[in-house]
Each structure stands twice: as structure tokens, then as C-alpha cells.
Structure 1
Amino acid sequence: MKIRQGSLNEARIWKHLNEEVKLDAPLVLIFANRHLLEEDYIFSTMRHLFPNGHLVYASTSGEILGDQVSDGGLAYTAIEFENSTFKIVSENILNHEKNSIETGNILAQKIDKANLKHLFVIAEGSYINGSDLIKGLESVLPDEVAVTGGLCGDDARFEKTLCGYNSKAKAGEVIAIALYGESLEISFSNYGGWFAFGPERTITKSTGNILYELDDKPALDLYKTYLGDKAAELPQAALFYPLSVHSAEKEHPVVRTILNIDETDNAMILAGDVPEGSRVKLMMATVDGIVDGALEAAKAAVAKRESAAQLAILVSCVGRKLVMDQRSEEEVEEVIEIVGSQAAITGFYSYGELSPFANERSCELHNQTMTLTLISE
């Protein structure tokens, strides 16, 4: 595996690493601030850098490159597999009336299943129900194929997210990178580091990812009561206080971030499903707890590997970044300490993370986690 990396900072200064590495038609992961991706300049520059490259763009809530976390810039990682192959397909949820299951189903139908080893998905983060996207994908994929990835971000603005493959990034896109090859070793993990507090409540009315009532009371009213003065800062304030959701059908609770609120219906829109009957508690975190969570994720990802990772893709939640503020790089440093300095590190801060739980294959949508996908060949 041959890798080149580089970045563009807020001052519009490029930094290119490993320029001596010659690549033919690499997979190029481009994580960038949404405002940058709206500029034609970015697409033309990346195409000039990699004339034959397969360019995958994703808007972020922060970019990860090596041990650095940046805002307002761009980070790229170009990967040329030497013993493996990849294929990229895309679908737009806006062509399917924002139906996430249908979008995932059609996207998965485009993928060649023969000898498929892994699927890495980068999805827009504005319209998607991440839980339903996974349902659609896994209804078509072979059981043994795991899915990891993340939902695009837009800092803490929640205005719009952009994604694209070999074209200027746009709203609604969902991109799947299918990896093939017997020599590939891929491991993955996720961990949060948040803790629950306050009384446990039951979801008594919900539809998909829209939460209406807790204990037969308007969910948004209850949430605002807990937030107090911070309620005026919704939906951004919700990133500091996600929900732990434990449904009867799931062995593990999942964390759900509130992406938006609906004052008219007194409801909250979350990144993934919140089934009726689920038990819910508020969550919060400390910086040390989040950093420890990243450490645990890294330990789990390397635990059963036979070879050292050559590439590590980190997808962490925007809520974690807001809590850590100027200390965001600490969680990345913890990951590098465990994964090893031989691995090229890339990734982004997201509106949702896709990964199975430890020792499982079925994917889940997570919020407020650090998710790792480690690759070698």
C-alpha cells in the first residue's frame, strides 16, 4: 500500500507530504470544511494533483491528518493498493424522497458482491436516517461483510452537508467504497466515553428518528427543562447532552445526537432511530472520559490483528470535539499511541459514526463515539 497525504489550512496554504511517492489511480479521501467544498477551486486543484485519482469528497466538522485536528481546512489521503482493489458507487437520497432504507438498498445493489471484503460508507448528514441507511445496505450485502464509515458534518451549524465522487460535492450524496482482496486485513471498533445521568424515561411516541414523547410528555419540553438557559442555544447545545437509547431488540444501548428540533410538533430529530418502548437517559462527558474512550477504541481495533495497520481512518463525533475544544488532538494522540506510528492517520469529525460493536458484524449508527477502521494488505 502506497500513501500520500496533504492539507490546506484556513490561510489557504497547502502542505503536501510524501510527494516522492508515485501513484497511478489512487483512492483519494478528501475531508474538508463545507464552505471550501462549495468552491470550484478545490475540485480543480485536487484533480490536478491526482489526474487519474478516484476523488471522494466529504464535508466535516473538523479534519484529522496525522496527529493534527484542523478546522476550516482540507485534509487528503491518497491510497494506492498494491495487492487489492476497490470500487466506488454512489446514490443520492434526494432522488428517493429522502427514504434512507431505499437509498441504502439501491446503493448496495450496485456493488459487486463477489469476493467483497469490506464496505466503507461516507454519507451526507442532513437528510439521512443513519439507522435506516444501514438497514437498506445490510438487506442486500452478504452477512459476513462489515460496514464502517460516517455521516458528513458541517461544523456545528447544521445547515447542509456535502459529499461527492469524482465531481463537485453536493447535497444528498451517499458514497460506498467497496474493498476487495484476500490480502486485506481490516479491523474496526468504536467507543464513547460518555456517561448517563438523571432519571430513566421511556419513549412513548416516536416515528423513525423523530422523538415526540417521553413518559407520555412532550420530549422537547422535557429536554428544554434539563438544559435550562442553554435551551436557547438548541440544536447546537444538544451536542453536549445526547441520549442513551436502549431498545428491547438490541443488546447494547446506542447514543443518539439531536440534530435538529421541531418547535411546531414539539419534537426532536435525531441522527438515527429511537424506537418506541426504548429506555432513555441523558448523557454527558468530560474531556478525560472522551480521551479514555478513544484509547479503548484503539485497543479494541488492534486486539486481534495479525499485522500492523498501514492506514487508520478515524471518524469521531462533532459533540466530542465541542466538549474537548482545544484539546481535541489528545484523543487522536491516544489512538496513534496504540495503533502505531507506521500507520497513516486520516479522518474527520462527523454527524454520526457507522461501525459494528466489538466482536459483531452487523453495523450500527453511533453518535458521540470514536470509530476506527484499520487497513493493511
Structure 2
Amino acid sequence: MKILQAKKLSNSKFEFASERIDLKEPLVLVFGNRFMLQDEGLFQEVRELFPDGHLVFGSTSGEIMGEKVLDGTVVLTAIEFEKGHFMVKSKNVSEFQHNDDALGRCLSKEFPKEQLKHIFVVSEGSTVNGSDLITGMEYGGNGSIGLSGGLCGDGDRFEKTLASYNQSPKEGEVVAIGFYGESLEISCANFGGWIPFGPERMITKSRNNILFELDGKPALDLYKRYLGDKASELPKSALLYPLSVRTDGGAAIVRTILNIDEERNAMILAGDVPQGSKVQLMMATVDDIASGARSAAKLAVQGRNTESQLAILISCVGRKLVMDQRTEEEIEEVSQIVGKHVPISGFYSYGEMAPFAGHRSCKLHNQTMTLTLFSE
């Protein structure tokens, strides 16, 4: 596996982290600030650097390269597989009337299953229901194939997110990368570090990812009461207090509030919040989050047969807001576990996709550190 990384500041050219090497038909992951991705010249600039590259773009709430967390930049990781190979497909939510389950099914069917090891998803993050997208992609037994990825970000603005494959980034795109070959070893894991607090309440009215009532009372009113003065900063302030959602017999999943609906007194979350589930507020300290990242890395490296050659990290914008000036600590924790020499790329997101430890089926998470490790 050959890897080349670079970063681009506003109004400047890409700066490569090492000496330029020629790569043959590489996979080029380009994660960056939404405003920079909107620049029509960016796609052409990357295309000129990699004329035969497969270019995948995604907007972020912060870029990860090495042990650094950047803002207002574009980071690029180009990968040439020496034995394995990959295939990239994309769809737009507008083609499916925002039926994310159908989009996932259609996207999944585009990948031949022979020797398919893993699918990595870079999805638009503003309107997609990540839970439905995963359900669609795993339909018909595809849950036996590894699946991970994340929902694109837009800082803490929540205005719009962009993604694309081999074209200028645009709204509504969902990009999936299928990895093939017996030589490839790909593992993934996630962990949060958030702590539940306050009373546990029951979801008495919800529809998919829209939460209307808790214990028979308007959910948004209750949430605002907990936030106090911070309620005026919604939806941004909700990133500091996500929800723990637990169904009977299932592991608790963390959910972030993406937006609020004042007219219906409801909250719109990044993934499903099933009626009858139990809900608690959550909070975390910087040390909790850094420790959670370390736990995620330990889970990702457990049982691997080969040493990692590339790590793609997707962490949540909420974690970044809590950690503030200490955000890089969680990346450093990961680097210590996977190996200081292992190239790291990734971004801060509006949602993370990965299975729970010991399981194959993927789930949508919020406020977690998610790793996907590659080697061949």
C-alpha cells in the first residue's frame, strides 16, 4: 500500500507531507471545510494532481491529518493498493424522494459481492437518516460485509453538507467505496466516553428520527428546561448534551440533535429514536472523551493479523466542541495505540457508522470516535 498525504490552506496550493511519488489510479480522499469545497477550482486542482485518481470529497466539521486537527483547510489522502482493489459508487438523496432506505439498497446492489471485504461510506449529513441508510445497505444479508463511515459536517453551522465522487462537491450525495481482495484486512470500532445523567424517560411519541414526546410531554420543552440559558443557542448547544437511547435488550446508542422544529415542538436527530425506547441526557469531560478514543483504538486493533497501514478516523463535532483547544488529545490517544508510524486521515462529522464491538451489523452513532484500519 502506497500513501501520499497533503493539506491545503485557504488561497494556497496543496502542501505534501512527504516527497511526491507516482501513484497508479489511486483512491483520493479529500476532506475539507465546506466553503473551500464550494470553490469550483478545487476539483480541477485535485484532478490535475491525480489525473487517473478516483476522487471522493466530503465536507467536515474539522479535518484530521496525522495527529493534527485542522479547521478551514482541505486534507488529501491518496492510496494505491498493491494487491487489493476498490470500486466507488454514488447516489443522490433527491433521486429517491429522500427515502434513505431505498437509496442504501440501490447503492449496495451496485457492488459485486465476490471478495467484497468492506464498504466505507461518505454521506451527506444535513438531511439523511443514517439509520435508514445503513438498514438499506445491509438489506438482504449484506450485514455480513464490513460497513463503516460517516455523515459529512459543516462546522457547527448545520447549514448544508457536500460530498461527491469524480465531480465537484454538491448537496445530497452519498458515496460508497467497496474494498476487494483476499490480501486486505480491514477492521473498525467505535467508542464514546459520554456519561448518562438525570432521570431516564420513555419515548412516547416519535417517527423515525423525529422525537415528539418524552413521558407524554413535548420533548423539546423538556430539553430546553435542562439546557437553561443554553437553549437560545440550539441546535449548536445540543452537541454538548446528546441523548442516550436504549431499546429493550439492545445496547445504548448516542444520538445528537441535528435540528429543532419549533412549530411541532420536536427534535430532529441524526438517526432513529424508536418509540418505547428509554432516553437519558449525557455529558462528558475532556478526559472522558480522550479515554473513549483510546478505547475505540484498542477495540479496532484487537485480533488483527497484520499491522495497520492506514487509519481513517471519524469523530463527532460534539466531541470537538467539548474538547476545544485539547481536541488533538483524542487523535494522539489513537495514534499511540495504532502506531505512530501509521498515516491517519479523517474528519469531524454529524454521525459515525460502525458496528458495536463483537458484532458485524453496523449502527449509526453520534458523539463517538470511529476508526477504520486498513492493511494488505
What secondary structure sits across from 2:144 in the alignment?
Answer: coil
* Structure 1 CA distance for aligned equivalents of residues 143 and 55 of structure 2: 28
Is 1:29 the counterpart of 2:29? The answer is: yes
Q: Deviations over 1:312-361 (max 9, x none)?
A: 00000000000001111110000000000231100000000000000100
Tell me the residue number matched to 2:192. Answer: 192
Tell me the residue number matched to 1:100. Answer: 100
Pairing of 1:351-362 with structure 2 (within 5 A): 351-362=350-361
How far has the Cα of 1:141 moved from its partner? 5.2
Report if aligned partners of 1:309, 1:342 keep a CA contact under 8 Å in 2.
Answer: no
Report if aligned partners of 2:10, 2:36 keep a CA contact under 8 Å in 1.
Answer: no
TM-score (normalised: structure 2): 0.98
Is 1:312 the counterpart of 2:311? The answer is: yes
* Structure 1 CA distance for aligned equivalents of residues 233 and 341 of structure 2: 42
What percentage of aligned pairs have identical amino acids? Answer: 59
What secondary structure sits across from 1:132 in the alignment?
Answer: helix
* Structure 1 CA distance for aligned equivalents of residues 45 and 245 of structure 2: 43
Pairing of 1:139-218 with structure 2 (within 5 A): 139-140=139-140, 142-218=142-218
Tell me the residue number matched to 1:51. Answer: 51
Corresponding letter in the other structure for 1:266: N
Corresponding letter in the other structure for 2:174: V
* Structure 1 CA distance for aligned equivalents of residues 317 and 98 of structure 2: 23
* Structure 2 CA distance for aligned equivalents of residues 126 and 23 of structure 1: 34
Report if aligned partners of 1:163, 1:172 keep a CA contact under 8 Å in 2.
Answer: yes
Report if aligned partners of 1:109, 1:140 keep a CA contact under 8 Å in 2.
Answer: no
Q: Deviations over 1:83-115 (max 9, x none)?
A: 000000011111111111011011111111111
How far has the Cα of 1:22 moved from its partner? 1.5
Corresponding letter in the other structure for 1:314: L
Pairing of 1:248-263 with structure 2 (within 5 A): 248=248, 251-263=250-262
* Structure 2 CA distance for aligned equivalents of residues 13 and 141 of structure 1: 45
Corresponding letter in the other structure for 1:109: K
The verdict on how the C-alpha distance between 1:133 and 1:79 changes in structure 2, with shifts beyond 3 A counting, is: same
Tell me the residue number matched to 1:123. Answer: 123
Tell me the residue number matched to 1:42. Answer: 42
* Structure 2 CA distance for aligned equivalents of residues 143 and 71 of structure 1: 35
Corresponding letter in the other structure for 1:231: A
Gaps in structure 1 of 5+ consecutive residues = none
What secondary structure sits across from 1:136 in the alignment?
Answer: helix
Tell me the residue number matched to 2:322. Answer: 323
* Structure 2 CA distance for aligned equivalents of residues 125 and 19 of structure 1: 34
Tell me the residue number matched to 2:278. Answer: 279
Tell me the residue number matched to 2:302. Answer: 303
Q: Deviations over 1:206-254 (max 9, x none)?
A: 0000000000000000000000000000000000000000012x52100
The verdict on how the C-alpha distance between 1:141 and 1:169 changes in structure 2, with shifts beyond 3 A counting, is: farther
How far has the Cα of 1:299 moved from its partner? 0.7
* Structure 2 CA distance for aligned equivalents of residues 34 and 254 of structure 1: 28
Corresponding letter in the other structure for 2:281: L
* Structure 1 CA distance for aligned equivalents of residues 255 and 34 of structure 2: 23
Corresponding letter in the other structure for 1:216: G
Gaps in structure 2 of 5+ consecutive residues = none
* Structure 1 CA distance for aligned equivalents of residues 320 and 262 of structure 2: 27
The verdict on how the C-alpha distance between 1:26 and 1:140 changes in structure 2, with shifts beyond 3 A counting, is: farther
* Structure 1 CA distance for aligned equivalents of residues 124 and 147 of structure 2: 16
TM-score (normalised: structure 1): 0.98
* Structure 2 CA distance for aligned equivalents of residues 180 and 338 of structure 1: 26
How far has the Cα of 1:11 moved from its partner? 5.9
The verdict on how the C-alpha distance between 1:304 and 1:131 changes in structure 2, with shifts beyond 3 A counting, is: same
What secondary structure sits across from 1:252 in the alignment?
Answer: coil
Report if aligned partners of 1:6, 1:16 keep a CA contact under 8 Å in 2.
Answer: yes
* Structure 2 CA distance for aligned equivalents of residues 358 and 62 of structure 1: 26
Tell me the residue number matched to 1:341. Answer: 340
